[in-house]
Amino acid sequence: MAKHPRIDLRPSPYIHSPLTVEKIMRNVVYALLPLVSFSVWQFGISALALILVTTFACLGTESLFCRLSGKANSLKDYSATITGLLLAMTLPPGFPLWMGAVAGFVAIAMGKTLFGGIGFNVFNPALVGRAFVQAAFPVAITTWTPALAPNRFVEFIPSTLALPFMKPAATAEWSAHVVDGFSGATPLALMKFQGIMTDSQSLFLGLTDGSTGETSALLILLCGGYLMWRKMLDWRIPASVIFGTAITAAVFYFYDPSHYPSPAFMIFSGGLMFGAVFMASDMVASPVTPLGIFIFGLLVGFLTVIIRLFGGLTEAVMYAILFGNAATPLIERYTQPSIYGARKKEDS
Amino acid sequence: MGLLDFFSRKTFPHGIHPPEYKAITQHKKTLRLPFPERVILPLAQHIGAPAIPIVHKDQYVVRGELIAEPSENALSVPIHASASGSVREIDLMPGPKGSKVMSIVIDTDPSSPQIPVSGKCQDYTRMTPEQIINAVKQTGLVGLGGAGFPSYAKMLLPKDRRIHTIVVNGCECEPFLTTDHRIMLEKVDDLIRGIQIAMKAVSAERSIIGIEDNKLDVLEAISPRLPADGRIQIEAVETKYPQGAEKMLVKSLLGVEIPSRGLPSEIGLAVFNVATLAEMGRLLPRQQGLIERIITVTGDDLTHPGNYVVPVGTPLQDILDNAGFTGQEAEIILGGPMMGLPVASFETPVTKSTGGVLILDQHAYKPKDILPCIKCSLCLQACPINLNPSELGMLANKRRYDVMEAQYHLNDCFECGACSYVCPSNIPLVQYFKIAKTLNRERHIQNG
Ligand code: SF4
Ligand code: SF4
């Protein structure tokens, strides 16, 4: 034995699971990449530009605040990257880039840094950014452009390049020009205002118009499934959101099927699937207790349907999740797990 | 074992599956190491009052001789000389918990044949439960699985309690350790005798040996030798940490829960570790004291890892020399990688409840930055007690130790470390909880 080997002292346990925050976040980015690619394929260079702008806005804001607060640079934990990608996916593909940058800034500055950085945010930062631009730019955020436009890889959607605070170019004409008869309405709007149901299959495959990334339920499920399989995403959250949506929608549907959409439509339309799998499951802003997770999911699903039917459209999922985030501390408080060997009141 | 059987293996909820690392030593027969030059025997190798020395400096003692008597008024067990030689000193020496503890140091006599003294043979089948319990106390036996609780005290029951089943814990769920595994393969007769002694002492109707299903060779070794009356059974449960915690094993095998902060005897059970019962079965008939034990020496930087019989009190230095330690810088741990104690000195002795010496170098987990809790809920899914380590950790950060205790069941945490193991933010949760408990204890003492 060597004469004076050094002894390292450290408390137990001395081994650790290979899963780290950095690894989880990195894999979430991986899981988002197919969705990002799909939306670029669907919407062309405008979507690509938007995704890049929001992501870099988030990264830039994060590093700015890190420098201001003198904290170690937290870019390497990928969470700002995720916020940027998530944010882009919830915006309309022709969303003006400068507005995208504002959204990214607000997401990190107000959604995350204000609360103290990673781990302390009460709300999903991407949704905070989105909620801000929803209020600030109500027109731009509800201006939809057609998917799969033939010239999408060579030409920007006119609104994309709008200058700050200028009236964006009229997108509607452009849309009508590139795709004959484009109505500018998403399947949800068609359902609500014109009573037209898009069939669930095209919704499922994502061949419809909508936000940049919220359209292909199938792809979302595959990417989310990868994360769930790697134990990096808690399957219980999406499952209970979808369940909550389904039963709420079912109640209305059975009450009056001619008036209200079917549960399948509710699940596969708009941003529900994306919201359930990638947004509601933001670990920091959702409960940790098993019962709490279930209640949170049900609540988000329930609110989504209610807001869609009786309130706004595009923002239903977003508000439902933000509300769920806000309710999280309260939910957790009343859903603490009952421990092994708990004694009944009288004998303790 | 059919496939179906495998999938329906009994278990408890939650827990973790760390890598096992048992292949290093599990097929190695136990070997006896040469006697060290010196043995260091702490007076408190058990939970309870330290034993009281009855020898003096320079006195010659014989291996197996009683050298310290149990303290009379409290939980305590005697200590026997683990080597023949002369008492060098009775003084403060480095103890396994880090601080120095009162110990008897014996310089081994190199010319002694080291034949242990023993009393008259006694036949436990003709002894009363009281006689057995007293005889167990005289052996100095404590729980060899780690806690060091005096074995006789587990058999002493209040008048209104009865034990119907003895649970024999052969799980050895800590990664790396293989002593219990070897004992169950090599000492089957001692083990079965020990179980019968314990059953007689508490008048239990039956007993059940629980092993993890990574040791199915034990089933083959033990099943054919179980007594025909069927009162001793053996069953495999899922390999999962911390299956070997008594609360978990009881839940897995019998589906019952030991009440919060209570004892197994409240629900008619007593839980013993296999190594403890094997020693009971060996020592009691010969009226011998506990003077040696089997340990696993394993991990990194060793040319001869293995399972070794060593005298109690053997300093780590001797063990590492014999196992061929070649490292320059390492972590040395008494016990397993989940709950073991770090040691700071090569003089630290192996005590009655040391199950292994683990060296971690390449396998050591180099802790990285601690990040804030991201509320991933992995710790909740790991905690076998179903606590909320995430919330407890955040409260610890805010120093709300009172709330941790009053509202979040801090004192039910048995420090298994599963939460720390899974935490992707590297939060040393179990460390926080140990500190919180200590500070709470001090606060309670101050407040009377
Ligand atoms: S495992 Fe760590 S990061 Fe995850 S919830 Fe528990 S304490 Fe928080
Ligand atoms: S150390 Fe305590 S809180 Fe952590 S998993 Fe074990 S029992 Fe639960």
CA-nearest of B360, B362, B357 to B297 is: B357
- Assess whether the C-beta atom of B415 lies below 6 angstroms from ligand 2: yes
- Side chain identity, residue B420: S
Domain of residue B72, CATH code = 3.10.20.600
Pairing of strands B85-94, B66-69: unpaired
A67-81, B125-139, B369-383, B416-430: the lowest-pLDDT one: A67-81
Both B271 and B251 in one domain: the answer is yes
Which of B360, B388, B406 is a domain's end point? B360
For residues B129 and B187, membership in a common domain is answered with yes
**How far is ligand 1, taken at its centre, from the CA of residue B221, in Å?**
42
Residues 6+ apart with CB under 8 A from B110: none
**Intra-chain end-to-end CA distance of chain A, in Å:** 54
Side chain identity at residue A148, one-letter code: L
pLDDT at A346: 45
Question: How far is residue B205's CA from residue B216's CA, in Å, rounded to a whole number?
Answer: 25
Cα B208 to Cα B337: distance, rounded to the nearest angstrom: 27
- Which long-range CB contacts under 8 A does A343-347 form with residues at least 24 apart? A343/B259, A343/B260, A343/B262, A347/B259
B298 and B344 both lie in a single domain = yes
In this structure, are B89 and B104 located in the same domain? yes
Q: How far is CA A202 from CA A191, A205, B88, B124, in A?
A: 14, 5, 87, 79
Question: At A162, is the pLDDT very low, low, confident or very high (cuts 50, 70, 90)?
Answer: low
Q: Does B222 touch chain A (CB under 8 A)?
A: no
What pLDDT score was predicted for residue A110? 86
Per-residue confidence (pLDDT) for residue B129, from 0 to 100: 92
Q: What angle do CA A247, A250, A251 make, to 5 degrees?
A: 90
Concatenated DSSP letters of B300-366: SSBSS-EEEEEETT-BHHHHHHHTTB--SEEEEEES-TTTPEE---TTPBP-TT--EEEEESTT---
pLDDT digits (tens, 9 = 90+) for B418-436: 999 999 999 999 999 999 9
Mean pLDDT of A180-191: 58
Domain boundary among B360, B388, B415: B360
Q: Mark whether B317 and B203 lie in a shared domain.
A: no
Binding site membership of B16 for ligand 2 (Cβ less than 6 Å): no
Nearest bound ligand to CA B433? 2
pLDDT band at A172 (very low <50, low <70, confident <90, very high): low
Q: Which two tokens stand for residue A289?
A: 């207790």
Shared-domain flag, residues B350 and B408? no
Confidence of residue A33 (pLDDT cuts 50, 70, 90): very high
Q: Give the lowest-confidence range in A299-308, B117-126, B223-232.
A: B117-126
Question: In this structure, is residue B373 part of a structural domain?
Answer: no
pLDDT at residue B146 tops 90: no
Tokens representing residue A17 in the block: 């699971």
Contacts of A223 (CB under 8 A, 6+ apart): A31, A32, A34, A35, A277
Q: Which amino acid is at A316?
A: A
Q: Quick one: B95 and B201 in the same domain?
A: no
Whether residue B143 has pLDDT greater than 70: yes
The Cα A273–Cα B336 span in angstroms is 45
- Asked whether residue A284 carries a pLDDT value surpassing 70, the answer given is yes
How many residues are recorded in chain A?
Answer: 348
pLDDT band at A74 (very low <50, low <70, confident <90, very high): low
Q: Is residue B366 part of a domain?
A: no
pLDDT band for position B1 (50/70/90)?
very low
Q: Does any CB of chain B come closer than 8 Å to the CB of residue A234?
A: yes
Q: What is the pLDDT of residues B19-74, one digit of tens each?
A: 999 999 999 999 999 999 999 999 988 888 899 999 999 999 999 999 999 988 78
Q: Tell me the percentage of chain B whose pLDDT exceeds 70.
A: 98
Q: Which of A11, A21, A72 sits opposite B431 (nearest CB)?
A: A11
* B368 in any annotated domain: no
Q: What is the mean pLDDT of residues B79-102?
A: 91
B418 lines ligand 2 (CB under 6 A): yes
Tell me what the pLDDT averaged over chain B comes to.
91
Q: What are phi and psi of B386, to 5 degrees?
A: 65, 35
ipTM of the complex: 0.88
Using a CB-CB cut-off of 8 Å, the residues of chain A touching B326 are 1-2
**Is residue B417 helix, strand or coil?**
coil
Q: What's the pLDDT band for A2 if we cut at 50, 70, 90?
A: very low
Q: Which ranges in B39-168 belong to alpha helices (H)? A: 129-139, 151-155
Residue B372 forms contact with A (CB below 8 Å): yes
**CA of B386 to nearest chain A CA: how many angstroms apart?**
5
Last residue of a domain, one of B330, B360, B390: B360
B336 and B223 part of one domain: no
Which pLDDT band, with edges at 50, 70 and 90, does A291 fall under?
very high
Provide the H-helix boundaries in B187-273. 188-202, 216-222, 246-254
User: What percent of chain A shows pLDDT beyond 70?
Assistant: 74
Which CATH number covers residue B232?
3.40.50.11540
Share of chain B above pLDDT 90, in %: 78
Lowest mean pLDDT among A205-219, B244-258, B319-333: A205-219
The answer on B210 and B174 residing in a single domain is yes
Please indicate, yes or no, whether residues B48 and B8 belong to a single structural domain of this protein. Answer: no
pLDDT digits (tens, 9 = 90+) for B218-275: 999 999 999 999 999 999 999 999 999 999 999 999 999 999 989 999 999 999 999 9
Q: Is the confidence at residue A134, as pLDDT, over 90?
A: no
The answer to whether B397 faces chain A, any CB pair under 8 Å, is: no
CB-based contact, A329 to chain B, within 8 Å: no
| Chain B contact set for A342 (CB, 8 A) | 260
pLDDT tens across B393-405, in order? Answer: 999 999 999 999 9
Q: What is the pLDDT of residue A184?
A: 53
Does B391 lie in the same domain as B333?
A: no
**pLDDT of A342 over the 90 cut:** no
Tell me: pLDDT of A1 over 50: no
Q: Please determine, for residue A27, whether its predicted confidence score (pLDDT) is greater than 80.
A: yes
- Banded model confidence at residue B192, pLDDT cuts 50, 70, 90: very high
Q: In this structure, is residue B369 part of a structural domain?
A: no
- Residue by residue, DSSP assigns A244-289 as HHHHHHHHHHHH-TTTS--HHHHHHSTTHHHIIIIITT-STTS--S
Give CA–CA dist A39/B45, Å, rounded: 67
Distance CA A276, CA A223 (A): 13
B113 with B167, same domain: the answer is no
* Pairing state between β B206-212 and B232-237: parallel
- pLDDT value for A166: 60
Looking at the complex, report in whole angstroms how far the Cα of residue B381 sits from the nearest Cα belonging to chain A.
9
d(CA B188, CA B21): 24
Triad B79, B294, B343: Cα angle to 5°: 75
Scanning B64-206, the segments in alpha helix (DSSP H) are: 129-139, 151-155, 179-186, 188-202
- Alpha-carbon distance of B221 to B212, in angstroms, equals 14
Q: How many domains does chain B have?
A: 3
Q: Is residue B371 assigned to a domain? A: no
User: Residue B204, SS3?
Assistant: coil
Atom of ligand 1 nearest to the CA of B425: 3
Counting runs of H as helices and runs of E as strands, what totals does chain B give? 14, 17
Q: Has residue B372 been placed in a domain?
A: no
CB of A18 less than 8 A from some CB of B: no
- Mean pLDDT to the nearest integer, A330-342: 91
Whether residue B147 is predicted with pLDDT greater than 60 in this model: the reply is yes
- What per-residue confidence (pLDDT) applies to A7? 72
C-alpha span between B408 and A337 (Å, rounded): 10
pLDDT-derived band at A282 (thresholds 50, 70, 90) equals confident
Say what angle helices B188-202 and B274-286 make with each other, to 10 degrees: 80
**What b/e readout covers A309-328, taking b as 16+ CB neighbours within 10 angstroms?**
beeebbbbbbbbbbbbbebb
Closest CA to A11 of B420, B311, B103, B200: B420
Which token pair is B32? 């006896």
pLDDT value at position B84?
94
Nearest-CA residue of chain A relative to B16? A17
Among A6, A17, A232, A282, the residue to mutate for chain B (most B Cβ within 10 A): A17
- Residue B242: is the preceding peptide bond cis (ω within 30°)? yes
Domain that holds residue B112: 33-118+289-360
> For the residues A237-261, what does the mean pLDDT come to?
89
> Is residue A334's pLDDT more than 50?
yes
Indicate whether this model's pTM tops 0.80.
Answer: yes
| B158 to chain A, closest Cα gap in Å | 18
Q: Rounded distance, CA B359 to CA B347, Å?
A: 15
Amino acid at position A126, single letter? A
Q: Which helix (H) or strand (E) holds B104?
A: strand B100-108
- When pLDDT is averaged across residues B384-390 and rounded to a whole number, the result is 95
Please write the tens of the pLDDT for every residue from B354-374. 999 999 988 877 777 888 899
Residues 6 or more apart whose Cβ sits within 8 Å of residue A22: A76, A77, A78
Taking only Cα atoms into account, the Rg of chain B, rounded to an integer number of angstroms, comes to: 22
A chain contacts of residue B16, beta-carbon cutoff 8 Å? 17
Of B189, B182, B118, B88, nearest to B144 by C-alpha is: B182
